[in-house]
Amino acid sequence: MVKESNNNLNHLLIGGISAVDLAKKYGTPLIAYDVELIRKRCQEFKDAFAKHGIANQVAYASKAFCSIAIVQVMKEEGMSLDVVSGGELHTALSAGFPPEKIHFHGNNKSKAEIEMAIDANIGCFVVDNFYELALLEEVGREKNKRISVLLRMTPGIEAHTHEYILTGQEDSKFGFDLLSGQGDQAIVYALKSSELDLLGIHCHIGSQIFETTGFILAADKMFEAIGKWKDSFAYVPKVVNLGGGFGIRYVQEDEPLPLSRYVDELVAAIKQHAESLDIKMPEIWIEPGRSIVGEAGTTIYQIGSEKDIPNVRKYVSIDGGMSDNLRPALYDAKYHAVIANRVNDDASEKVSIAGKCCETGDMLIWDIMLPKVEAGEYLAVFSTGAYGYSMANNYNRIPRPAVVFVENGQDTLVIKRETYDDIVKNDLPYKSNALTKN
């Protein structure tokens, strides 16, 4: 949580710039990213691997926040990139991201998306199911290209996080199930295929995870399987990708681990597995999203109406809500906020922050202590950098917010605010022929 305020004006500073000035310049709601912090997070992951001298790739999971500007930053930081759709791939290519460092995920890639990725010469596909294996072979044959793949395995690990965002359970739509033998079948299939080049295996156990245990257990399961494959068909993966999911701080109670801890413990566990199986240490790949951009983003809203129900609750409304941040409504996610124009004033009043959408569940924060607020003041909500803009929507035909990058004392608009014309730009008029019939 970035809460600098060493200016005389009592304003929240984001990357050294007053959040109030940003709000006045770009309007609200506004998502402001501290780019220095994003770069720091990338560096932390890279340093952690470098310390161990382990061949690796750290792929930014662009689903957390995807735009041309963030992809450019990832390119500058030497990161790889995880995309899950033609749209994310198109963004990456438009940003000039090196295609060979792009990994294409997803449980239902279309043939058109696969063709687009192959034409762009992306690094690899993370294959989710047998349907996709066959589709990849088909496109490989048609284009006369060999396709590099990782196979996504579901190791049956339940990570400690919110139920809706678990993706590593057995009963999950993602990946080849290891327990039932689907994983073995997929390996055999890929090894036999003349169109597919099997680079290795992948798993992802969930998101917003605060301990290392789940990751270590997943690695144990993966290496148990590797031992079996080594004995049965002399197959040893060159790459083991352990996904993303490293937790961040949203509210004071959250206690994220230093990012290097995850890497240190995983590397140690994998080294041990490689030694005991007597195999070459594989390359370790990870794909963090939230932990790269989450805490770097702050959303600035303007405060509007209020409703005080005596002895019950005071609602304070802001000019955004579930249209720019779906997480509280969808996952009951918690956030911390301050009054950006009076950041050091004492909190004296308990209020609940309501969004402006026509939906009772559009509540951004329940029961937060703030200084007594007035309409026109600015509320800054912290840690909105991941899965905020990327899940923003036009419910109630509310335009998506603007996004600004702040770095080195400079603010740069990187996503324009949608306009009302943008909202109707794909709408076409309708004229019923029923009315023109004579």
Beta carbon of residue 181, minimum distance to ligand LLP (angstroms, whole number): 22
Q: What distance in Å separates the CA atoms of residue 171 and residue 268, rounded to the nearest whole number? A: 29
Looking at the Cβ atoms of 122 and 339, the one nearer to ligand LLP is: 122
Contact between 245 and ligand LLP (CB under 6 A)? yes
Contact between 291 and ligand LLP (CB under 6 A)? yes
Cross-strand pairs, 64: none
Beta carbon of residue 207, minimum distance to ligand LLP (angstroms, whole number): 3
Q: By CB under 6 A, how many residues form the interface with ligand LLP?
A: 22
Name the residue among 20, 23, 1 with its Cα closest to residue 11.
20
Contact range with ligand LLP by CB under 6 A, out of 16-24, 242-250, 371-379, 392-400: 242-250
Contact between 66 and ligand LLP (CB under 6 A)? no
Inter-residue contact 31 to 298 (CB < 8 Å): yes
Q: Write down how long the chain is.
A: 438
* Long-range pairs for 166-174: beta carbons < 8 A, 24 or more residues apart: 166/205, 166/206, 167/204, 167/205, 167/206, 167/207, 168/203, 168/204, 168/205, 168/206, 168/214, 168/218, 168/243, 173/107, 174/107, 174/128, 174/204
Contact between 85 and ligand LLP (CB under 6 A)? no
Contact between 200 and ligand LLP (CB under 6 A)? no
Beta carbon of residue 378, minimum distance to ligand LLP (angstroms, whole number): 24
408: Cβ contacts below 8 Å, ≥ 6 apart:
15, 36
Contact between 15 and ligand LLP (CB under 6 A)? no
Contact range with ligand LLP by CB under 6 A, out of 49-57, 111-119, 228-236, 243-251: 243-251
Q: Is 397 annotated as a binding residue?
A: no
Looking at the Cβ atoms of 18 and 299, the one nearer to ligand LLP is: 299
One DSSP character per residue, 122-174 reads -SEEEE-SHHHHHHHHHHHHHHT--EEEEEEEE-----SS-GGG---SSSSSS
Contact between 204 and ligand LLP (CB under 6 A)? yes
Q: Let me know if 42 is a catalytic residue.
A: no
Inter-residue contact 381 to 59 (CB < 8 Å): no
Beta carbon of residue 59, minimum distance to ligand LLP (angstroms, whole number): 8
Q: Is 290 annotated as a binding residue?
A: yes
* Binding-site residue ranges for pyridoxal 5'-phosphate: 245, 287-290, 387
Binding site for ligand LLP (CB under 6 A): 61, 64, 82, 105, 165, 167, 204, 207-208, 243-246, 287-291, 327, 331, 386-387
